[in-house]
Amino acid sequence: MDLTLALLAGMASGFLNVVAGGGTLIVFPTLVALGLSPLVANVTAAVGVFPGSLAGSWTYRKILSEQKKLAWLSVLLMPIFSIIGAALLLFLPEKNFETIVPFLIGSAGILIALQPLVYKLFPKNTKVLNLKLIIPGFILAGIYVGYFGAGTGVILLAIYGLAGLSNIQQANGLKNLGSGTGNAVAAVIFIFSGLVVWQLALSVAIGSIIGGALGGRLAQKLDASIFRIIILVIAIVASVYLFINNS
């Protein structure tokens, strides 16, 4: 039963990460509900979720080829700084993460819900991209994706819009690539931490690949509003539960 729930959570996560973002907000509470501590659940979720983001990015490969510079910056910078976030998660006291995680979940849920407002930051036409803004943004987003990760896609979308990118589909592909590669490097670090619950992580990974591939094909056709509402409700419930549980 546990593996089935992890597989279904992974499918939902992979699908939502591509369509609306915030898929980790499905997997993380599921793993906590299955009895994992918040730290172990976060590490296991990170290992399980990143294949879905990469699978979703693959479906955007033609669009990504139109923004090669940004694609390469995403692949290079997000992973580098995700190492810092992963190190902070593993080496700071576990109690620190348990204290802050309810607020991270709640904030991530709100970010996902506000994503339509983020799209309004996108200009009508792309002229010259402001790389001076993009690079510091990647530093912050990279550290965040290594530490927790949920909502990273919305942060990246805001960065792309403020930097002058006008094509929202390109931005969606780039945010999947950036968050996916950043999460992948953090996941490699977590693999050697000894904290990963492998049966659950593999179940989530299989599900996330299926969901990510499906979401990547449907993302351009679906209205993501209902998914954002679902994620926000789940985030609020999970945040309140963890806050009470930690009190």
Q: With residue 139 as reference, give the H or E element that holds it.
A: helix 131-147
Q: What percent of the chain has pLDDT over 90?
A: 28
Model confidence pLDDT, tens digit, residues 138-168: 999 999 999 998 888 888 888 888 888 888 7
Collapsed DSSP state (helix, strand, coil) of residue 123: coil
**Cβ contact 240:102 at 8 Å:** yes
The candidate with the shortest Cα–Cα distance to 6, out of 199, 228, 231, 214, is 199
**Could you report the per-residue pLDDT of 100-153, keeping only the tens digit for each?**
998 988 888 888 888 788 878 788 776 777 878 888 999 999 999 999 988 888
Which one has a higher pLDDT value, 53 or 199?
199
In the predicted model, what is the mean pLDDT of residues 208-224? 68
Q: Inform me whether the pLDDT recorded for 217 exceeds 70.
A: no
Coil, strand, or helix at residue 221? coil
Q: Which amino acid is at 66?
A: E
* Structural domain boundaries in the chain: 2-246
State the pTM of this model.
0.85
Give the list of residues 6+ apart from residue 54 with CB closer than 8 angstroms, or none. Answer: 176, 177, 180, 181, 184, 212
Do residues 124 and 164 lie in contact, with contact meaning Cβ atoms separated by under 8 Å?
no
